[in-house]
Amino acid sequence: MLYNISMNESLKEIIKLVPEQPGCYLYYDKDGEIIYVGKAKNLKRRVYSYFHKQHDSVKTSVLVSQIDKLEYIITDSEVEALILESHLIKKHKPKYNILLKDDKKYPYFLITDEDFPRIQIVRKKNLNPDKGRFYGPYTDVGAMYATLDFLKRLFPLKQCKTPKFSNRPCLYYHIGKCLAPCQGKVTPEEYQKLIRQVELFLSGKQSELLKQIQAQMQKYAEEEQFEKAAKMRDSYLDLQKTLERQKVVYENTKLNEDILAVLYEDGILAIVIMMIREGRLIDKKDFTYFADNIDKTEYFETFFRDYYTGLKLEYPDKIISKDLEEIGDKELYQDWLKIISGKKITINYGKGRGKYGELYELALKNARNLLDNARIKKMSQIRDDFNEVGSYLAEKLHLKNFPNRMECYDISHIQGTNTVASMVVFQNGLPKKSAYRKFKIRSTEGKPDDFLSMKEALTRRLARLGTKNWEKPDLIIIDGGKGQLSSVMQIVEELGIKDIDFISLAKREEEVFLPHKSKSILLPRDSNALYLIQRIRDEAHRFAITFHRDLRSKAIRKES
């Protein structure tokens, strides 16, 4: 039942009406737009928490400040609420829900809904169930086209939508790549057997397919249809070679599992799904998303639900991922998977040193490789377009210099002990590690003071301007907000430095502050310019922490 609350009532009165039952809640802003959809096992408790608790998340705080009205829908169970929530998010696309955005439209195989079906590659936007049966998504387009060529060689399916000739087969028939159903050369029953074999292949049941082809081969041989038997033999051998190239995970087993691994670093979310069918690793799917300051668990939960809701391949019997433990609600998601797949699917967290732990570690290695490649690709793009990126930064941040050489500093310590500062250098958009420097901070030992530590590090660095191996930077980036930048500018003015640009980057909202300006600048979230200065800031942080850990380890060894 949907409760429509009048916008004239106060939210305090509205919340009193919310029942302690499972369901979904919808938040509206003053313009009547749905800005957030959520689900809950106990609606009253969940909704109450938004308005009577302090929130660490900036996004949640901003969301609550914009809520002008709420509606809720009661369901019979939490799993029904989960399914309804996904539907409402897809329908309304609220701005505060995570909406996975990717520049790719992942392709699918389509077996068309015709008397004599064809196999095609289609994009996500064309997924109309009336067109036929879909299999996918596939993230490696090259491998997908190679698979299509293999399938057309193995199974002589119809190639043309309409016959090329009215009274004779086309060339595809004569070269053995089509059975010419348009000319009545094959019965619908025989053709459907071929289609079912294609579906077995796309579902990962190649071992079962091999048995069927072998049985057909023997049947044709016994009936002395030797030409057909020879074609079956060739198909059998081709398929066998393909299976031999697939990695055997566990022999003599019917293991049908998906292994998921997730990594989030440097604003890149990398997700890998490794598909094991009948004990063989048959496919690996890679997904990358560029999104800064996100909750990895919330993002992964959204991905998990989107992926398995839209899955057009056969569902696995088990899903393995340590990352699912962070989402929690194993029983809830197992119930949800049973509803959308029509079969029991168990979730395993892939812990320990057993086979599931090994499989998860394998997926994690692939996720690491995917993330590293995405990072390199992104930085290479910035390098290739650096004139454009640098010009954009210079214009938007009102810089005096073109930012060829950028430096960033960070402080690291534990309660004022072993305080260090890092200096990282990016030249033309790429890290120049030979120019990185470390500073042991002397002025604040035993008393944590990041402002004083930064003052010492910059004073020592700027005093070396013009000396060998200490080139003058065009732009210095400070990790922090307006206060950190103001304290740095005191040092700069004391030293009389006027030909270097300074900015600071506040992590909370990724605001850029300029000297002596009260208002911050927000660069577009998806811009290469913001990505570059975030990477420089994060690299300075990483370098400082590494140096601090090294010093602390040495101190511990000395004490022992």
Q: What is the fold of 257-377?
A: Nucleotidyltransferase; domain 5 (3.30.420)
For the chain, the domains span 2-92, 107-204, 257-377, 386-559
Of the ranges 202-211, 263-272, 419-428, which one carries the lowest mean pLDDT score? 202-211
3-state secondary structure 328-341: CCHHHHHHHHHHHH
Position 139 pLDDT exceeds 90:
no
Which of 345, 195, 199, 373 is closest to 272 using CA atoms? 373
Is residue 135 within a helix (H) or strand (E), and if so which, with residue range? strand 132-135
What pLDDT score was predicted for residue 103? 44
Position 288 pLDDT exceeds 60:
yes
How large is the average pLDDT for residues 512-522? 90
Which are the contacts of 411, defined by CB distance < 8 A and separation ≥ 6?
419, 420, 421, 441, 450, 453, 454, 457, 544
Distances (CA, A) of 107 to 78, 157, 201, 289: 32, 20, 17, 17
Q: If pLDDT is split at 50, 70 and 90, which confidence band does 239 have?
A: low
Please, what is the average pLDDT of the chain?
83
Bridging pattern class, strands 417-427 and 437-440: antiparallel
Q: What is the fold of 2-92?
A: GIY-YIG endonuclease (3.40.1440)
Give 235 or 113, the one with higher predicted confidence: 113
Give 474 or 357, the one with higher predicted confidence: 474
Which alpha helices (DSSP H) does 290-441 contain, by range? 296-309, 323-327, 330-341, 355-384, 386-396
Mind giving me the DSSP string for 192-250?
Answer: HHHHHHHHHHHTT-HHHHHHHHHHHHHHHHHTT-HHHHHHHHHHHHHHHHHHHHSEESS
Q: Are 420 and 413 in contact (CB under 8 A)?
A: yes
What pLDDT score was predicted for residue 8? 44
How large is the average pLDDT for residues 519-547? 87
Bridging pattern class, strands 280-290 and 69-74: unpaired
Position 93 pLDDT exceeds 60:
yes
What pLDDT score was predicted for residue 198? 84
Position 500 pLDDT exceeds 90:
yes
What pLDDT score was predicted for residue 118? 87
What pLDDT score was predicted for residue 4? 38
What pLDDT score was predicted for residue 2? 41
What pLDDT score was predicted for residue 396? 93
**Structure-token pair, residue 452:** 């004083």
What pLDDT score was predicted for residue 108? 83
Q: What angle do CA 21, 39, 34 make, to 5 degrees?
A: 120
Residue 112's Cα: distance from chain center in Å? 30
Q: Which three-class secondary structure state does DSSP give residue 41? A: coil
Q: Are 378 and 287 in contact (CB under 8 A)?
A: no
pLDDT in tens, 251-261: 556 778 999 99
pLDDT in tens, 436-458: 999 988 887 767 777 888 888 88
Position 375 pLDDT exceeds 90:
no
Position 480 pLDDT exceeds 70:
yes
Of the ranges 58-62, 102-106, 416-420, 536-540, which one carries the lowest mean pLDDT score? 102-106
Give 534 or 54, the one with higher predicted confidence: 534
Of the ranges 51-60, 108-117, 519-528, which one carries the lowest mean pLDDT score? 51-60
Count the Cβ atoms, other than its own, within 10 Å of residue 106. Answer: 17
How large is the average pLDDT for residues 135-141? 75
Q: If pLDDT is split at 50, 70 and 90, which confidence band does 90 have?
A: confident
What pLDDT score was predicted for residue 554? 77
**Structure-token pair, residue 159:** 């190639």
**Structure-token pair, residue 266:** 């440097």
Q: What angle do CA 7, 8, 12 make, to 5 degrees?
A: 85
> How far is 288 from 271, CA to CA, in rounded Å?
6
Residue 148's Cα: distance from chain center in Å? 26
Q: Which three-class secondary structure state does DSSP give residue 77? A: coil
From edge to edge, which strands make up the β-sheet containing 69-74?
2-4, 69-74, 23-28, 34-40
Count the Cβ atoms, other than its own, within 10 Å of residue 511. Answer: 16
CA atoms within 13 A on the CB side of 394: 14
Position 143 pLDDT exceeds 50:
yes
Is residue 4 within a helix (H) or strand (E), and if so which, with residue range? strand 2-4
Q: Are 158 and 169 in contact (CB under 8 A)?
A: no
- Read off the pTM: 0.62
Q: If pLDDT is split at 50, 70 and 90, which confidence band does 556 have?
A: confident
**First-last CA distance in the chain:** 68
Are both 2-92 and 257-377 of the same fold?
no
In the CATH scheme, what architecture does the domain 386-559 have? Answer: 2-Layer Sandwich (3.30)
Position 1 pLDDT exceeds 60:
no
